[in-house]
Amino acid sequence: MKTRQAFNPYLPSWEYIPDGEPYVFGDRVYIYGSHDFYNGYVFCMGDYVCWSAPIDDLGNWRYEGVIYPKTADPLNPEGKMCLYAPDVTVGSDGRYYLYYVLDKVSVVSVAVCDTPAGEYQFYGYVHYEDGTRLGEREGDEPQFDPGVMTEGDITYLYTGFCGRGDKSRTGAMLTVLGPDMLTIKEAPVFVVPGSEYSAGTQFEGHAFFEAPSIRKVGDTYYFIYSSEVMHELCYATAKNPRGDFKYGGVLVSNTDLHIDTYKPADMPAAYGANNHGSMVQIGDDWYIFYHRHTNGTWYSRQGCAEKLEILADGSIPQVEITSCGLNGGPLEGKGEYPAYLACHLFTDKPAIYLGGDKYPKVMQDGRDGDEENGYIGNIQNNATMGFKYFECKGVKRIRIWTRGYAGGTMEVRTAWDGPVLASMHIPYSNVWEEQSAPLELPDGVHALYLTYKGPGTAYLKSFELCVE
């Protein structure tokens, strides 16, 4: 039974778990990903941890603890290498197998556990029948971002990384493993081209970059991946896990590019960078899990999710990024909401990729691990923060809590380019202070956009929609 609303990001604001691979085991959904730090200086600085939620209460996530420390791999006893994006599959023996790559080697490591979120133990390295590790045989391309699916006693392992300009990287690879989950039964083949080999193919412009993941819907295999533009997750389909995969389209962009329902298609509504995630069916619904970037850097990423619609022909339209992805519908149009739920952050100078000292950003006080609620900082002239969606009834007033040295006004709209419906003066203050203004919204579903106008730099902690 649902006990609380679900938001984006779906985990607490002080947790940074990108590259999410979601799975339903029993009556819970589990999320496996890498582990960033707040104020981290590189990707994936933490040990693997796991979170889970009841399938009928997707706002109620539980911390399962550390499931695998970086020092558990024999190649990394001192923890000098980072654990990059993992994936999990259930073997024919019913055990759970965790596949991953360390950040300075080209081989695929495997750990195993009897339960979905217990303590995984190192198991071995993916290797050829002669013992040579995958990635170390002459002609092998380096392994990266394993995505796995087991059917019967066969495991399909998809890997790869293809940066633009690097002709030594061909595309996404498929390697077929035997019942021991380690030994190669079919050598790697390429299933989706990278950007250097996509010219003239249906993948051109959306060629494989990284983050391969595989799911099955009915009799169709969906290969999900991050494309060469990085901010989007795309998909390709085939009737066989070995291919031939056909390009399908974009599932989600963490900038909302291509979406034209509320803005021009070429207008970015958030600051993007890399992306990584996958699909999962929870109950009757399918969702795409992805990540966003915080703190104005690439290295503090948070998991988000949106509901998908799989059409009768198997195609999946691109979904909007929202503040309410797993909620099953709009959020309640009343009460106080934290500002870190903003799905849109932009200024009057459009930018697809994050970076720069003029852009608003989600941040927090304290250090990584401090359970401090996030907020939006670096709010300067013409910065806009968007939240969607809310089921409103009887809204009469809005309150906001701000701090910072900023002497301007906060304008309220229900569309990013709509009329100003309320305006509040923002005072200079080094503590959080409340401001409010009348705001009468017609009953119905609305987005909420807050735009700052004026000098200085402000911070927004939260807002409240007040009803009669």
In angstroms, what CA-CA distances link 102 with 107, 130, 330, 332?
Answer: 8, 23, 40, 43
Instruction: Determine the Cα–Cα distance for residues 274 and 289; give it in Å rounded to an integer.
Output: 14
C-beta pairs of 60-64 under 8 Å, 24+ apart in sequence: 60/3, 60/4, 61/10, 61/11, 61/12, 64/30, 64/117
Mean pLDDT within 95-113: 98
Instruction: Determine the Cα–Cα distance for residues 292 and 20; give it in Å rounded to an integer.
Output: 11
Where does 393-427 show beta strands of DSSP type E? 395-406, 409-413, 422-425
Question: Which phi and psi angles does 73 have, rounded to 5°?
Answer: -80, 130
19 belongs to the catalytic site: yes
64 belongs to the catalytic site: no
- pLDDT tens string 387-420: 999 999 999 999 999 999 999 999 999 999 999 9
Instruction: Determine the Cα–Cα distance for residues 341 and 164; give it in Å rounded to an integer.
Output: 33
The number of angstroms, rounded, from the C-alpha of 329 to the middle of its chain's C-alpha atoms is: 19
Does residue 468 carry a pLDDT above 80? Answer: no
**Which positions ≥6 away from 47 have C-beta within 8 Å?**
35, 66, 68, 69, 70, 83
Mean pLDDT within 273-296: 98
Cis bond before residue 146 (omega within 30° of 0): no
**Which positions ≥6 away from 282 have C-beta within 8 Å?**
24, 29, 55, 58
Question: What type of residue sits at position 193?
Answer: P
Instruction: Determine the Cα–Cα distance for residues 325 and 250; give it in Å rounded to an integer.
Output: 17
Percent of the chain at pLDDT exceeding 90: 99
DSSP letter (8 states) at residue 220: E
Question: Which phi and psi angles does 238 have, rounded to 5°?
Answer: -155, 160
pLDDT given for residue 85 in this prediction: 98
pLDDT given for residue 379 in this prediction: 98
Q: Per-residue b/e over 397-431, b at no fewer than 16 CB within 10 Å?
A: ebbbbbbbebebbbbbbbebeeeebbebebeeeee
The pair of three-digit structure tokens given for residue 419, joined into one six-digit string = 């009329």
The pair of three-digit structure tokens given for residue 231, joined into one six-digit string = 């901010």
Contact 326, 269 (CB under 8 A): no
- pLDDT tens string 160-178: 999 999 999 999 999 999 9
pLDDT given for residue 75 in this prediction: 98
pLDDT given for residue 184 in this prediction: 98
Q: Among residues 73, 140, 210, 232, which one is catalytic?
A: 210
pLDDT given for residue 356 in this prediction: 81
Question: What type of residue sits at position 33?
Answer: G
Angle (CA) 90 93 96, round 5°? 30
Helix (H, G, I), strand (E, B) or coil at 195: helix
Mean pLDDT within 129-147: 98
- pLDDT tens string 341-394: 999 999 999 999 998 888 999 999 999 999 999 999 999 999 999 999 999 999
Provide DSSP, 68-131. Answer: E-GGGSTT-TT--S-B---EEEE-TTS-EEEEE-BTT--S-EEEEESSTTS--EEEEE-B-TTS
Does residue 340 carry a pLDDT above 80? Answer: yes
HSE (CB half, 13 Å, CA atoms) of 209? 17
The number of angstroms, rounded, from the C-alpha of 377 to the middle of its chain's C-alpha atoms is: 21
Q: Among residues 19, 141, 228, 411, which one is catalytic?
A: 19
Instruction: Determine the Cα–Cα distance for residues 209 and 178; give it in Å rounded to an integer.
Output: 27
The pair of three-digit structure tokens given for residue 53, joined into one six-digit string = 């939620």
Q: In a 10 Å sphere around its CB, with 0-12 CB exposed, 13-18 middle and 19+ buried, how is residue 183 labelled?
A: middle
Question: What type of residue sits at position 248?
Answer: G
- pLDDT tens string 287-333: 999 999 999 999 999 999 999 999 999 999 999 999 999 999 999 99
Task: Set out the domains of the chain in order of their start, with CATH numbers.
Answer: 21-308 (2.115.10.20), 331-467 (2.60.120.260)
- pLDDT tens string 221-260: 999 999 999 999 999 999 999 999 999 999 999 999 999 9
In angstroms, how far is the first alpha carbon of the chain from the final one?
Answer: 29
Rg from Cα positions in the chain: 22
Instruction: Determine the Cα–Cα distance for residues 284 and 173; give it in Å rounded to an integer.
Output: 31
Order the strands of the 121-125 sheet from edge to edge. Answer: 87-90, 96-100, 109-113, 121-125
Q: Choose among 225, 207, 341: nearest CA to 279.
A: 225
Question: What type of residue sits at position 238?
Answer: A
What is the residue-averaged pLDDT of the chain?
97
pLDDT given for residue 160 in this prediction: 98
The residue length of the chain stands at 468
Does residue 86 carry a pLDDT above 80? Answer: yes
Q: In a 10 Å sphere around its CB, with 0-12 CB exposed, 13-18 middle and 19+ buried, how is residue 466 labelled?
A: middle
Mean pLDDT within 213-220: 98
Helix (H, G, I), strand (E, B) or coil at 339: helix
- Taking the model in full, what pTM does it have? 0.98
Helix (H, G, I), strand (E, B) or coil at 223: strand
